[in-house]
A and B are shown apart, each in its own frame.
Chain A
Amino acid sequence: MSRIGVFICHCGINIAGTVDVERVAEEIGQHPQVAYATTYSYMCSDPGQQLVRESIAEYDLDGVVVAACSPAMHEATFRRAVAAAGLNPYRCEIANIREQCSWVHEHEPGRATQKAVETTRTCVEKVAWDEALEPFHLSVIKRALVIGGGIAGMQAALDVANAGFPVVLVEREGRLGGKMAALSGTYLNFSAAPGLLERKVEQVLDHPHIEVLAGAQVTEVEGYVGNFAVRVSALADPLEVGAIVVATGWDPYPLSRLPEYGGSELADVVDGLTFEGMLQEGRAGLGRPSDGRTPREVVFIQCAGSRDPERGVPYCSKVCCMVVAKQAIMFKEYVPEGQAYVFYIDIRSAGKGYDEYVQRAMEDHDILYLRGKVSKVFRGRDQVIVWGVDTLSGQPVEVAADLVVLATPMLPSRQAVTLGQTLRAAVDQSGFFSEAHPKLRPVESLTAGVFLAGVAQGPKDIPETVSQASGAAAKVLQMFSQEVLIQEPTVACVIEQFCSACGACVEACPYGARAIHPLWHIATVNAALCQSCGACVTACPNKACQIHNWTPKQILTMADVLVGV
């Protein structure tokens, strides 16, 4: 028989204004396993925590339930308090009677009180069966692997290496720099880009802590956060690293997917990246692909393939509104006698100084923006004919252009999906790596120890790429500054006498945490990889899988409370 203490929080009037907390204490106090039940105005305050600590000693408690706000708020606080009083922190549970009770049932105080009693009772039943667990300690190999040598990968590698830790940078091509090397320059400060990139490449190549493996690929990854073993095509032995940064960037959208714009059929219809290459050579490079003549009338088509869930990609490629403004301005600088037209759906130029840049394109460079998506581009006599619309005047329009530049979307690296499988890091339906949380954890993947930088995670421009890469590096360094990593012990386990080694759980586990032991012939769990998802528990035909402190026994007893058995 347990001796459980229940601490019910008023949270000022947040809870006590609706729930009759004294009645909850009274009812729960009658539970045979509850040795003490009390209420307090703010349980998370210092005196509130002191009350919990002192009661543990005074009533010789062996388990604690705090009925208060969501565990996301203060589970850690109360587990620390309980540990300070000498109790195992995993024998402390939080009953959420605020977010899931008082706040949502404000108009029914009587039933809210009843629900608070039941919710608290479920936790009492759970604590009664909670094991006293100890967290795992994992060692950390203080070496990082960066996959992809574009601006994102180089920045992340430099930041980690400059802090004194060794980095291995794997790049599939024979050279570093990624797509930035193919750009004419960057918007806002045009001429600066190529020089900047060159300096970065030199810094990476000369860095004593960075080993560059060019023309290489990651083929296999084993292990877990802090302790990965990575096979790279260029190396005989596996690389041992503690953290991985994915910076695999983007690949171009095939022009052949835009037949209505004459993509890959008309020579004088090119994509943005090709036009960047032409701009690299200045006026001399601007000769039309068909006949080398300098174009006079150039049409830019924005969102060519982007924002088109039916036939292209559903997302906005984010950089092309700015890129088109840059390209049109550069064209006008090299060919002042020419004219540039931009067809757009809307202009997305958020960022410091970005919209001003687009406005300057119109005001100072006479670039004519036409609101409407082009419907088709076809061969004219000596030109390509563009059929669009100007929805602002309500007129269908036609431009006989010398050259058409399509602002096509950035696709994720063509290897992203396979690499994601190798790393067991999720990619979204477009193929970009998924971040752990869209707002609060944008540089971490869902797999511990795997971080994201640059376009690999989603379309972004160079400044944003560099910021994210430095963010990913900071996460790596945060790991490397610890001697050991602490891992929650509430992971899956195997009840050996029930396991038939059928392997169903191995199949079911999305994180590769389970295996059949070759000698013992029994399922094993790699606690460092287990994310406590529960897939193995439902998959096992023999009820041999459990998650510590979330056993079927516990869950069913909790359910019994709710159905009133």
Chain B
Amino acid sequence: MRVQISIDKVRGPFVRQVEEISGQGLLDCNQCGKCSAGCPVVAAMDLLPSQVIRMAQLGMEEVLESNTIWICASCLTCVTRCPKGVDLPRLMEALRQISLRQGVAELDLGALPPELTKEVPQLAIVGGFRKYIK
């Protein structure tokens, strides 16, 4: 499918929301790719970090379906190296929040195997409940 590009998308509500929550100007990123080159967990991601910001620039909400935004460990490697001063983990956090608010990634406690609930840090489970605060 051809991605439709228009002012309603590239300057639309999704882009505005991402920019507002993350505090980042999406078009500050000139797609140099340095973030993706140095990300320590990039191997586990389905989209490169730079592709995540690219899709956000284009107003493609599908980016919320990417596992990258969840795999990002907020290690700040990319922030310290980005030539344009883009804070990518803040962007990732913004995308996670939007995704939670949309209920995209709901946590079903009952579906978790009991062995897992024992091992998983409590903080993670509490974090998972943020879905209820929309």
A and B part of one assembly: yes
Partner among A296, A368, A387, A397 whose Cβ is within 8 Å of the Cβ of B27? A368
Contact A339 B7 (CB under 8 A): yes
B-contact bits for A336-372, CB 8 A (1 contact / 0 none)? 0011010000000000000000010011001111110
Scan B14-32; emit 1 where CB is below 8 A from any A CB, else 0: 0000000000010110110
Tell whether, in the assembled complex, residue B28 and residue A363 are in contact, meaning their CB atoms are under 8 Å apart: yes
B58 at the interface (CB under 8 A from A): yes
B51 contacts partner chain A, Cβ-Cβ < 8 Å: yes
Contact B2 A396 (CB under 8 A): yes
Looking at chain B's contact residues, the main secondary structure is mixed
| Bound form: Cα–Cα A366–B10 in Å | 9
User: Is the Cβ of B25 less than 8 Å from the Cβ of A399?
Assistant: no
| Interfacial chain B residues near A497, Cβ < 8 Å | none
Contacting pair A390 B54 (CB below 8 A): yes
Is A396 a contact partner of B6 (Cβ separation < 8 A)?
A: no
The answer to whether the Cβ of A173 comes within 8 Å of any Cβ in the partner chain is: no
A311-354 contacts to B (CB < 8 Å): 338-339, 341
Also in contact, A363 and B27, with CB within 8 A (given A368-B57, A392-B54, A393-B54): yes
Say yes or no: B2 contacts A387, CB within 8 Å.
yes
A395 at the interface (CB under 8 A from B): yes
Our pick among A370, A371, A393, A400 for the contact of B51 (Cβ within 8 Å) is A393
List the count of A-B residue pairs having beta carbons below 8 Å apart.
Answer: 64
Separation of A393 and B3 alpha carbons in the complex (Å): 11
- For A368, the chain B residues whose CB sits under 8 A away are 5, 10, 27, 57-58
Residue of A nearest to B56 (CB): A393
Residues of A within 8 A of B31 (CB): 371, 392
Cβ A395 vs Cβ B58 within 8 A? yes
Q: How large is the interface on B (under 10, 10 to 19, 20 to 34, 35 or more residues)?
A: 20 to 34
Tell me which residues from 388 to 411 in chain A have a Cβ below 8 Å from any Cβ of chain B.
Answer: 390, 392-400
Asked if A488 is an interface residue, CB under 8 A from chain B, the answer is no
In residues 35-69 of chain B, which contact A (Cβ within 8 Å)?
A: 50-51, 54-55, 57-58, 60
B4 touches A398 (CB 8 A): yes
Given known contacts A398-B3, A400-B6, is B60 in contact with A393 (CB within 8 Å)? yes
Smallest Cβ distance from B20 to chain A, in angstroms?
A: 15
Q: Is the C-beta of A211 less than 8 angstroms from some C-beta in chain B?
A: no
A461 at the B interface (CB under 8 A): no
**A392 and B2 within 8 A (CB):** no
Report the Cα distance A392→B50, complex, angstroms. 9
Would you call B11 an interface residue if the criterion is a C-beta within 8 Å of the partner chain's C-beta atoms? yes
A362 touching B30 in the complex, CB below 8 Å, given contacts A397-B5, A398-B5, A399-B5: yes
On whether the beta carbons of A359 and B30 are closer than 8 Å, the reply is yes
Please report the C-alpha to C-alpha distance between residue A394 and residue B47 in the assembled complex, in whole angstroms.
11
Q: How far is the CA of A362 from the CA of B30 in the complex (A)?
A: 8
In the assembly, what is the distance between CA of A296 and CA of B27, in Å? 19
Within 8 A of B (CB), among A274-317: 296-297
Question: How many angstroms from the CA of A456 to the CA of B128 in the assembled complex?
Answer: 67
Contact between B50 and A398, CB atoms less than 8 A apart: no
Chain A residues closer than 8 Å to B55, beta-carbon distance: 393
**Cα–Cα, bound, A390→B57 (Å):** 11
Cα A363 to Cα B57 with chains together (Å): 12
A564 to B4, CA, bound (A): 77
Q: Is the CB of A397 within 8 A of B51?
A: no
C-alpha spacing A400/B2, complex, angstroms: 12
| Min distance, Cβ A96 to any Cβ of chain B, angstroms | 48
What's the least CB distance linking A404 to chain B, in Å? Answer: 13
Which residues on the B side are within 8 Å of A362 (C-beta)? Answer: 27-28, 30
Let me know if A297 and B6 touch, CB within 8 A. yes
Which residues on the B side are within 8 Å of A367 (C-beta)? 27
Q: Contact check, B7 vs A297: say whether CB atoms are below 8 A apart.
A: yes
Residues of A within 8 A of B10 (CB): 339, 366, 368
Contact with B along A365-383 (1 / 0, CB 8 A): 0111111000000000000
Query: In the bound complex, do residue B11 and residue A339 qualify as a contact, i.e. CB atoms below 8 Å apart?
Result: yes
Q: Return the CB mask of B73-97 against A: 1 if under 8 Å, else 0.
A: 0000000000010000000000000
Give the residue among A362, A371, A393, A396 with the most B Cβ atoms within 10 A.
A393
Complex interface: chain A residues within 8 A of B28 (CB): 362-363
Known: A359-B30, A362-B28, A368-B57. A399 touches B6 (CB 8 A): yes
The A252-286 residues at the B interface (CB cut-off 8 A) are none
Known interface pairs A297-B6, A387-B2; A392-B51 also in contact (CB < 8 Å):
yes
Chain A residues, CB < 8 A from B27: 362-363, 366-368
Name the B residues within 8 Å of A398 (CB-CB).
2-5
| List of A residues within 8 angstroms of B30 by Cβ | 359, 362, 369
Residue of A296, A366, A369, A390 near B3 (CB, 8 A) is A390
**CA distance in complex: A487, B26 (Å):** 64
Chain B residues near A400 (CB, 8 Å)? Answer: 4, 6
Rounded to whole angstroms, the CA-CA distance of A387 and B60 in the bound complex is: 17
The answer to whether residues A390 and B58 also contact, given A339-B10, A366-B11, A368-B10 and a CB cut-off of 8 A, is yes
Residues of B within 8 A of A399 (CB): 4-6
- Specify which chain B residues have a CB less than 8 angstroms from the CB of A339 in the assembled complex: 6-7, 10-11
Chain B residues with CB under 8 Å of A296's CB are 7
Q: Give the chain A neighbours of B57 by CB distance below 8 A.
A: 368
Q: How far is the CB of B109 from chain A (nearest CB, A)?
A: 36
Contact residues, A78-124 vs B (CB, 8 A): none
User: How far does the alpha carbon of A400 sit from the alpha carbon of B3 in the complex, in Å?
Assistant: 11
B6 to A395, Cβ gap below 8 A? no
Q: Is the CB of B54 within 8 A of A338?
A: no
**Contact yes or no, B25 A397, CB < 8 A:** no
Q: How far is the CB of B86 from chain A (nearest CB, A)?
A: 11
Closest to A396 in B: B2
**How many Å lie between the Cα of A397 and that of B27 in the bound state?**
18
Contact partners of A359 in chain B: CB under 8 A: 30, 84
Q: Which of A44-83 contact B (CB under 8 A)?
A: none
Q: What is A's interface to B at a CB cutoff of 8 Å?
A: 296-297, 338-339, 341, 359, 362-363, 366-371, 387, 390, 392-400
Q: 6 smallest A-B Cβ distances: which pairs?
A: A339-B7, A398-B2, A393-B54, A395-B3, A399-B5, A397-B3
A-B contact pairs, 24 of them (CB 8 A): A297-B7, A338-B7, A339-B6, A341-B5, A362-B30, A363-B25, A363-B28, A366-B10, A366-B11, A368-B5, A368-B10, A370-B5, A390-B3, A390-B58, A392-B31, A392-B51, A392-B54, A393-B3, A393-B55, A393-B58, A395-B58, A397-B3, A398-B3, A399-B5
